[in-house]
Structure 1
């Protein structure tokens, strides 16, 4: 009884503590509204930023309403790269100074490269490794009857993996003839006695249980909701590097007999700087996003909030396909998101057993396996999953990494494959399903030698988003055409995609930051702050280059430079695992070549610096900082680096948002650093 009484007491204390904490926060919020703190955006009398000319925006009221389909005919002109200039006539409160590189600049910075088909490059039309599901066997048909080596997977029950977690789990074996493919979903092989496993097969294992459950819940024509995500593709880069895709989308709109309408979202703003900060909030909402978490990793981190779990309850087959082997998605989602099909460990095997890398600094390296690009395998897997589950509701997510490299040229390799895939997918499944496709990007590129001016900086914030929708599906929603057409010309974000996806599945989820793109209008007065977008991620914030810094700015820049220098050296020159300077030399940040600045409000500002160091020839960093005198973003989980406290004209906290190398540093030093577990961008190697 004493133990039970103690338990009741502890439980009561926890309950009352939580209640008191919540009540206190409400009181503080109310008091702050009436009497704001001294250093606060609610107290414009105090200004702590270096440029005191900031004036808050005052958007007007927007009372526009959607027009029903019966009174609106959607007949768009062909989409063009510079259509965005038309937005300047619409009176939007959020309008960028620039939408990215001009057509001429883009042609100069990103010239045509010309990647041959992998079938030509490798002199083979397909792959010599096959998984035959009809016979359920794995076999090879190497030229001249050669027999090489093979590795197969999966190696455990993880749906996602960080590479190092699985690298030692695969077993290489000699190929001795066909074998059972029971439990085998993928394989890599070589026809020679070498260690470049350039033959591949990736074929899903039918999930009959999920299929039967989905079929039992079907009560109308089945739907396919498909996110086809192209990593690092701004809207303008999509027009530049994949013109065949654009022509295909335009043909769907132009053909009177087409069953599909396409919408080009011209002001679709990022939610964060990288893939997970943009895409994971689509999966789980903004409140559930964290770049990493502690404790048991073999879980579905998003739980009941995950799109796949909500949609499974509505009878959807779910697929999560990632063409990468990074640490980010597994770190944010856990290793076991509860999807019916997944692709990720296969690409970890590719990264281990082939020369192919998905890292952004492997410039211009064409990613071939056998006769196909690496992205072909995930697309083929998805097509097969859809075929196996024909006649059911499906939620499909693909994340293709072909444009995830710093030259900006490899995106060309998506042009043919994605166009052909979309054409075949719509033709094959359109008769049996209502299809809604988000052909989207997570963000624009944010690395490489070219990323050095305001046009590039803005383009990174404006990823592509095209919606391809079955006309019969749209006809079921009375305001769909006008809503989609209007929203395609207004500020939208990733959270809008989540609300719309759930709505398509019959689930209503309203948040202060999102709109249902099929039924509501993104307001003309909508600003980034209304969408949950931070100022430094906002395309509409007016950033300027400071060409002649005054004394105050010079003083602040010196502080910023010292902060970054200490941080870089603590992770390289002073790495705790090695003697001082044994792997990397000390980096001295010397010449600041560019200063970009924006006032966020009266107590928050943002700096972007380009700084050179002579520690290695040509070494140059781009560093982004946020400076604040209030508590805004104190709990922002996506911050990677620690806060520093300073007082140059008021109490100011400085946070580095990102540090990027903008010179070409791939090579021997990069490999040395990575082999030592040191961040390669920060290392000026002693021995290279």
Structure 2
């Protein structure tokens, strides 16, 4: 995206190179952004038994309490963050909400323009263009007063490695529109993704394996923040290479509901408290505070499967430990799907790659990361197995690294659909 990249260089901004994902797909990666909780904690606290998210304490409620208007828009109907395999909201969650429009569009005028049927159109417009129109129509509202907005595009860019080139000019024009309408003068904008590409030929490479866990995050901020809150912005810049997650973005957004927290005296006091906590520091740290260099994945709430604070040494796929780990991964999948009789038992077809995990911390147990292919269905999976004295355990989730299309048509459970091959 050279046009967008060059445009951002003209604005005060920070790009975060240590931004690490915390979950398998969109939902568990963005739940911490909205709530400060992980997926399990959120569902236990306010979703289980409720059949909707209306009672959840999401970040837009904090902004609403601080006097902000709120808006939320996605360019999808089927794959909505809170609607894919979930019940969504019973009541409108924000003041301005695009989903009712997308429901009508999807019901009456949808057609697809790609072989995978992942990019949808209405009339002559892709769904993303409807999202852009919503943002443009919000501009007068954005100029009226304080506004918290969450805009999310997933179609196209979610599934195709080269699709970002088609967004380059659109995103540059979007930023220029916000700038020319003086919105960026008083707005902090996060340009972000939730994870890297999860499927396809690039994902099957070593680099693709790493980049899946290191998505995009750029913060664009008004110039006057540097003058008014110098220590906060200095910390923001220093955190460009710190290990951070969406838990930290949640804490950062909460700070923005009360700018007094960014005063130099407050930053000094909060920084002292943060360092006094040491290894007991919070999982979510505002990016206006200095994120300690001692922070590791466990302290940041990053599962081992997604942690980039480790290196991988390739090992022979015929090594005994490689084969043991591969068999254990497949056996684990079969255990999970055993209660779904319509799902076929999977067999290990091939050990594609194997790696030993090298950590900075001294650890006695051997950990092996394997990539396997199974049959039926030619599913490709990736998992980390820890070897204990007399047993093996998984360290993190087992990930599917190739698309499964309609292979799992016979189940309606997003937790196991990627593992299920239906007859």
| 1:620 equivalent in structure 2 | 379
Q: Is the 8 Å Cα contact of residues 263 and 466 (structure 1) preserved in structure 2?
A: yes
| 2:288 aligned with 1:512 | no
Instruction: Give me the whole-angstrom Cα distance separating, in 1, the residues matched to 2:297 and 2:395.
Output: 20
Structure 2 gaps of 5+ residues are 262-269, 275-280
| 2:162 aligned with 1:413 | no
Equivalent residue of 2:70, what SS? strand
Equivalent residue of 1:419, what SS? helix
Q: TM-score, normalised by structure 2?
A: 0.80
Instruction: Give me the whole-angstrom Cα distance separating, in 1, the residues matched to 2:189 and 2:332.
Output: 45
Instruction: Give me the whole-angstrom Cα distance separating, in 2, the residues matched to 1:435 and 1:547.
Output: 52
Q: How does 1:323-472 map to 2 (within 5 A)?
A: 323-324=75-76, 325-326=78-79, 328-330=81-83, 331=86, 334-336=89-91, 338-356=93-111, 363=116, 366-388=119-141, 390-430=143-183, 434-472=186-224
Tell me how far 1:350 sits from its aligned partner. 4.1
Instruction: Give me the whole-angstrom Cα distance separating, in 2, the residues matched to 1:661 and 1:516.
Output: 33
| 1:295 equivalent in structure 2 | 49
Aligned residues: 394
Distance 1:523 1:344, change over 3 A: same
Q: Is the 8 Å Cα contact of residues 624 and 656 (structure 1) preserved in structure 2?
A: yes
Instruction: Give me the whole-angstrom Cα distance separating, in 1, the residues matched to 2:155 and 2:16.
Output: 22
Distance 1:530 1:435, change over 3 A: same
Q: Which has the higher helix share?
A: 2
Note the aligned Cα RMSD (angstroms).
3.4
| Cα deviation code 1:418-453 (max 9, x no counterpart) | 11111101211338x511100111111111233113
Instruction: Give me the whole-angstrom Cα distance separating, in 2, the residues matched to 1:655 and 1:271.
Output: 14
| 1:200 equivalent in structure 2 | none
Tell me how far 1:469 sits from its aligned partner. 0.9
Q: How does 1:186-201 map to 2 (within 5 A)?
A: none
Tell me how far 1:245 sits from its aligned partner. 1.1
Equivalent residue of 1:593, what SS? strand
Tell me how far 1:656 sits from its aligned partner. 7.0
Instruction: Give me the whole-angstrom Cα distance separating, in 2, the residues matched to 1:591 and 1:344.
Output: 43
| 2:409 equivalent in structure 1 | 674
Out of 324, 337, 349, the position equivalent to 1:590 is: 349
Q: TM-score, normalised by structure 1?
A: 0.51
Q: How does 1:597-616 map to 2 (within 5 A)?
A: 597-598=356-357, 601-603=363-365, 605=367, 607-613=369-375, 615-616=376-377
Out of 307, 322, 326, the position equivalent to 1:538 is: 307
**Between 596-605 and 262-271, the greater mean CA deviation after superposition:** 596-605
Instruction: Give me the whole-angstrom Cα distance separating, in 2, the residues matched to 1:345 and 1:318.
Output: 16
Out of 489, 498, 507, the position equivalent to 2:241 is: 489
Tell me how far 1:515 sits from its aligned partner. 3.1
Q: Is the 8 Å Cα contact of residues 225 and 233 (structure 2) preserved in structure 1?
A: no
| 2:73 aligned with 1:321 | yes
| Cα deviation code 1:136-175 (max 9, x no counterpart) | xxxxxxxxxxxxxxxxxxxxxxxxxxxxxxxxxxxxxxxx
Tell me how far 1:477 sits from its aligned partner. 0.3
Instruction: Give me the whole-angstrom Cα distance separating, in 1, the residues matched to 2:134 and 2:252.
Output: 26
Q: Is the 8 Å Cα contact of residues 403 and 409 (structure 1) preserved in structure 2?
A: no
| 2:6 equivalent in structure 1 | 247
Distance 1:489 1:655, change over 3 A: closer
Instruction: Give me the whole-angstrom Cα distance separating, in 1, the residues matched to 2:351 and 2:33.
Output: 38
Instruction: Give me the whole-angstrom Cα distance separating, in 2, the residues matched to 1:374 and 1:399.
Output: 11
Tell me how far 1:270 sits from its aligned partner. 1.3
